[in-house]
Amino acid sequence: MNVESTVKAIKAVIGDGLMPLHDPFISNEDVDRVRRAAASEPVGYGFIAQLQDAVAERCHRKYAIAVSSGTAALHLALIVAGVKRGDRVMVPSLTFAGVAAAVKYCDASPVFYDYHNMPMEGVGSAARIMGDILGWPEALAQEPSRRKVDIEDAAAALGSSYKRQPAGSAGLISTLSFNHNKIVAGSGGGMVLTDDVGVADQVRHLATTARMIPGDHFYEHDAVGFNYRMSNLSAALALGQVFRLDGIIERKQALADRYERTLGGLYWTPMGERSVYWNGWLNAIQLRDREERDAVMFALKDAGIQSRALYHPLHWQAPYRGEPAAGAQAVGWWEKTVLLPSGKSACR
């Protein structure tokens, strides 16, 4: 296909008119729940507790701790994993910048790797962050260990699975995001998941400013903690989407099927195994080169359709230049890939 025919094919799937990249699947019931939270317990924790229980069950985890963002979740995971100044941490090059930033928050250094090409011994690293790309459960395919310091960044992979193992269940610790563009949107927020009670207790303590709580009357702290708590309003917004997640995924997979049928060989998936179940978070196409990628994105923009390139490889970005990296695959994917509208509006 040329640029014109590619844009025409995309319009055939999602229709004409303004189209966001990924608007959330928020219902009237979700909005009503937020109103109830605001009216009855604006600084309470009731919906947070329900969200933690629902996500822990979905991800086959014993413990879930809601926090303020996916980046905060990763930061806490690294601290609890023992990462300290001068350590090295394995990080996928093709991911959101917050992943590498969390490593830097610990005064540690990222060592970047390509998806499908992770050094299993971690080249002497203190920990490995294993990423799930575009909602695909890539980390699970790498067989992370719950004994070693493996952290699964399942930011947008909630609902996906590999060999029936759910995303968010891998490694010693896993993390999720409830940012506004994720499959479950809480207008912000994240989560740390683990099966280790000691890890859970430490994360919970640090996320609440390391406050010692013999009662409700005193502000005593036994460590430098962080104000990383999720708001009850965010939890109220996200909760109903977790309950409806299977229905949301069904709609997103139907959209993916329409894209694949219409776009043919342009349609791209980073994992193609039958044992993979994908939540349909973001659909993508791969074009010949960077020039064609940009031409398609600008043509879509002119038509009012939002699209995006993949994450710019982290080892190319200013804060991380000079860090060890193996990123040839990341560069190749970034140069050719366009992310397509995949949210509620596109699933109409």
Query: Is residue 124 pLDDT above 80, yes or no?
Result: no
Lowest mean pLDDT: which of 162-171, 208-217, 259-268, 282-291?
Answer: 208-217
- CA Rg value for the chain: 20
d(CA 225, CA 27): 35
Helices (H) and strands (E) in the chain, counts: 11, 16
pLDDT tens-digit map of 92-107: 999 999 999 999 999 9
State the average pLDDT over residues 107-112: 95
Quote the pLDDT of residue 149.
84
Between strands 150-153 and 173-177, the pairing is: parallel
Taking the C-alpha atoms of residue 27 and residue 10, their distance in angstroms, rounded to an integer, is 26
Main-chain phi, psi angles of 278, to 5 degrees:
-110, 140
Residues 319, 172: contact at Cβ < 8 Å? no
* Separation of alpha carbons 196 and 200, rounded Å: 6
Question: Per-residue pLDDT for 278 more than 80?
Answer: yes
Residue 337 reports pLDDT greater than 60 = yes
What domains appear along the chain, each with residue ranges and CATH number?
3-20+245-340 (3.90.1150.10), 28-243 (3.40.640.10)
In angstroms, the CA 298 to CA 172 distance is 42
**pLDDT for residue 217:** 74
pLDDT of residue 198: 96
Please state, as a whole number, how many other Cβ atoms lie within 10 Å of the Cβ of residue 81. Answer: 23
Tell me how far the alpha carbon of residue 130 is from its chain's centroid: 11
Give yes or no for a contact between 134 and 96, defined as CB atoms under 8 angstroms apart.
Answer: no
The percent of the chain in helix, strand and coil, each rounded to the nearest 5, is: 40, 20, 40
Alpha-carbon span 246 to 254, nearest angstrom: 12
DSSP class per residue in 78-114: HHHTT--TT-EEEEESSS-HHHHHHHHHTT-EEEEE-
Give the distance from CA 150 to its chain's centroid: 16
Output the pTM of the full model. Answer: 0.94
